[in-house]
Structure 1
Amino acid sequence: MTSSRRSLPRARALACLLMVLTLALLSARVARAESPGIRWIDVGQGSAALVVGTAGEVVMIDSGPSAGAEVVVRALREHGIGRVQLWVHTHFDADHVGGVTRAVAGEDGLLGTFDDIEVAAFWDRGLDHAPSTAALTRYLELTGDRRHGVSRGARWVAEGLELEVVTGDPTATAETTPENARGIALCVRVAGVTLLAPGDLPAAAVAEAAARCHPVDVLWASHHGARDGTDSAVLATLDAGAIVIITAGMSNSYCHPDPGVLTLLLGHDVRMTGAAGVDPRADCASLITVLGAGHSIVAGDVWLPLTQNLPERDGAGESR
């Protein structure tokens, strides 16, 4: 009797791991999808996304850690991208800004050579109470006079692609405010779809940003799905049928995403680049019992092609 009870959790764990491997194979097939679309790049524990507009314009959001920069280079190569119109970093944590210098250096890894990625402009939260880190130093050396600190209301517009800063005010934060809370949230509209990218902001700021970005079709979950970034107030602001994206490393030591957040997201379409609770041998709390039918752990890049319709809005009669 004891043996059969033990075998059930093990069977669930093996089934979950099989799902991960299957989805990893599927993710490889969509890695070369064409524009327009949004590609969340699996940089491990960190965040980076590539947005391609209807006319081919490219916006990058964050760049992941230095350890994940090679996969950012690969993603740019697979989309045939040599120029980025705008590269935005939501805040200065190393797992969001650490990969940019290597990524811009292109295939050969050397800055100042023929294969460098041309970046027209860089946006960030501004340098008020900026951390003293090697990642930020490299970022500032790279960006020079192309860098602009922005706050709420800043907008960038191109054909079929629009970005607006919908929260974040570095002049209003105390010296003791943590870096995550100093960040900026981005409302991105591309091919008729609205994405909210709040970096690692706390849930109250995410809910405020979502209200300004309404209606939100796609939520990039704050802080890699951590408990402090998503709550019921955030979910109440989402459009019916909204997709939720979580970017986290498969073996991250922070145990992202939080099981409680996934429980809140039961019934939602959730797509994760990775998750630290699917391996029963890990130290993190198991996610097996909180994974819903609509939850997918891709274990790789998540590509959302915007040539396909998203779920129809309630009462609007408009297919997204």
Structure 2
Amino acid sequence: MKKRYSSFKFSAIIAGLLAMLLVLSGCSLEWELDHSANFDRRSTIDSDRLRVIFLDVGQGASQLLISPSGKTMLIDAGNNDQEQAMLDYLKQYGVNRLDIVIGTHPDADHIGGLDRVIDHIDVGEIYMPKIQANTKTFESLLLSIKNKGLKVKTAKAGLVLDWDDEIKVTMVGPVNVSDSKNNMSAVVKVVYGNTSYLLTGDAERESEKDMMESGVDLQADVLMIGHHGSKSSSTLSFLKKVAPQFGVIQVGDNNYGHPTSTVLERLSKQGIEVYRNDLHGTVEIASDGHTYRITTER
């Protein structure tokens, strides 16, 4: 498979201007967009970097994180029909243990593949928010957790996860208890040096408002666009608070209209460079703590 070459001159010009502005303003953050010729999941080119990989699981979501020291974290695992694909991905990336697993919320398109992953991969800790679903998918996940002898830790705002000494991983949501599964989504902020990521699950405007009102630092260079680009998420005030340079939409063929034109236009007006699984396949944004290398499957 091949990486997508960056051929959009306008985007490159904008990126260059933004970089100049950052230098002039005294900000030390830099990034490079390197779309090389061969998309190699096992590549060691980024072995000194934090790798945040937005796996292409169709109309669902899954993020695989691999630290420079080899620590691993999996957030969600796509829908039920992605179970084998998830195992294949983990094998391709050389992952035989997951130090942390997070199921952001009980929707099938996020936790559908987690039961099979837990059945076949060594798992350290697992986090899920305190909300349930009366579905076979959720019950199957709980059974796999039980059979593995794991104890679920509650995902909620304020937690600092013990993952890698050089990387700070905190949960910034959910802040409050809600009847909405989406607004109970675990929201994870990852900081490595001067670089940062905000991974939002299906958090909607209610959760976004709660996070903003909590006073937590939400600024992040890379934002996983909430709820697959639905208009229920990514409010203008939230985007301004996060102020990302890059956005990733985890989306596939669907009948929901995701991502919506409203959100895409909003992202464009904020100058956010957007990557999408349905257009670019798997997207990896790797950081050495100062710069980013972005690679795409197509």
- Which residue is equivalent to 2:241? 237
Counterpart of 2:128 (choices 124, 131, 137) is 124
Task: Give the conservation status (yes or no) of the 8 Å contact 1:207–1:237.
Answer: no
- Which residue is equivalent to 2:218? 214
Counterpart of 1:194 (choices 193, 196, 199) is 196
Structure 2 residue 92 is matched with structure 1 residue 84: no
- Which residue is equivalent to 1:162? 168
- Which residue is equivalent to 1:180? 182
Larger RCO (alpha carbons 8 Å, 6+ apart) = 2
Cα distance in structure 2, aligned partners of 1:46 and 1:27:
27
1:37-56 correspondence to structure 2 within 5 Å: 37-56=51-70
SS in 2 for 1:120: strand
- Which residue is equivalent to 1:146? 151
Structure 2 residue 36 is matched with structure 1 residue 31: no
SS in 1 for 2:106: coil
Given residue 227 of structure 1, which amino acid in structure 2 is its aligned partner?
Answer: K
Cα distance in structure 1, aligned partners of 2:67 and 2:210:
26
SS in 2 for 1:195: strand
CA deviation after TM superposition for structure 1 residue 30, in Å:
4.5
Task: Give the conservation status (yes or no) of the 8 Å contact 1:245–1:272.
Answer: yes
- Which residue is equivalent to 2:80? 66
- Which residue is equivalent to 1:301? 282
Cα distance in structure 1, aligned partners of 2:231 and 2:110:
19
Cα distance in structure 2, aligned partners of 1:38 and 1:226:
22
SS in 1 for 2:233: coil
Cα distance in structure 2, aligned partners of 1:87 and 1:194:
20
Structure 2: gaps of 5 or more residues: 1-34, 294-298
Given residue 303 of structure 1, which amino acid in structure 2 is its aligned partner?
Answer: E
Task: Give the conservation status (yes or no) of the 8 Å contact 1:27–1:302.
Answer: no
Judged with a 3 Å threshold, the aligned counterparts in structure 2 of structure 1 residues 27 and 166 are, in CA distance, closer, same or farther, namely farther
Using the size of structure 1 for normalisation, the TM-score is 0.71
Over the aligned positions, Cα root-mean-square deviation in angstroms equals 2.3
Cα distance in structure 1, aligned partners of 2:194 and 2:166:
8
Structure 2 residue 259 is matched with structure 1 residue 257: yes
Moved over 3 A (4+): 25-28, 30-35, 207-211
Q: How many residues align?
A: 246
Larger Rg: 1
Counterpart of 1:224 (choices 219, 225, 228) is 228
Cα distance in structure 1, aligned partners of 2:42 and 2:209:
33
- Which residue is equivalent to 2:27? none
Structure 2 residue 251 is matched with structure 1 residue 248: yes
- Which residue is equivalent to 2:109? 95
CA deviation after TM superposition for structure 1 residue 213, in Å:
3.6
Judged with a 3 Å threshold, the aligned counterparts in structure 2 of structure 1 residues 148 and 270 are, in CA distance, closer, same or farther, namely same
Given residue 254 of structure 1, which amino acid in structure 2 is its aligned partner?
Answer: Y
CA deviation after TM superposition for structure 1 residue 259, in Å:
0.8
CA deviation after TM superposition for structure 1 residue 207, in Å:
5.1
Given residue 31 of structure 1, which amino acid in structure 2 is its aligned partner?
Answer: R
- Which residue is equivalent to 1:317? none
Given residue 253 of structure 1, which amino acid in structure 2 is its aligned partner?
Answer: N
Judged with a 3 Å threshold, the aligned counterparts in structure 2 of structure 1 residues 101 and 310 are, in CA distance, closer, same or farther, namely same
CA deviation vs aligned residue, 1:155-204 (integer Å, no higher than 9, x gap) = 1122223321112156x33xxx2211222211122454211112111124
SS in 2 for 1:212: coil
CA deviation after TM superposition for structure 1 residue 26, in Å:
7.6
Task: Give the conservation status (yes or no) of the 8 Å contact 1:66–1:102.
Answer: no
Cα distance in structure 2, aligned partners of 1:263 and 1:27:
30
CA deviation after TM superposition for structure 1 residue 208, in Å:
4.5
Cα distance in structure 2, aligned partners of 1:121 and 1:194:
23
Task: Give the conservation status (yes or no) of the 8 Å contact 1:59–1:86.
Answer: yes
Judged with a 3 Å threshold, the aligned counterparts in structure 2 of structure 1 residues 26 and 178 are, in CA distance, closer, same or farther, namely farther
Structure 1: gaps of 5 or more residues: 1-24, 106-115, 275-296, 312-320
Cα distance in structure 1, aligned partners of 2:82 and 2:37:
17
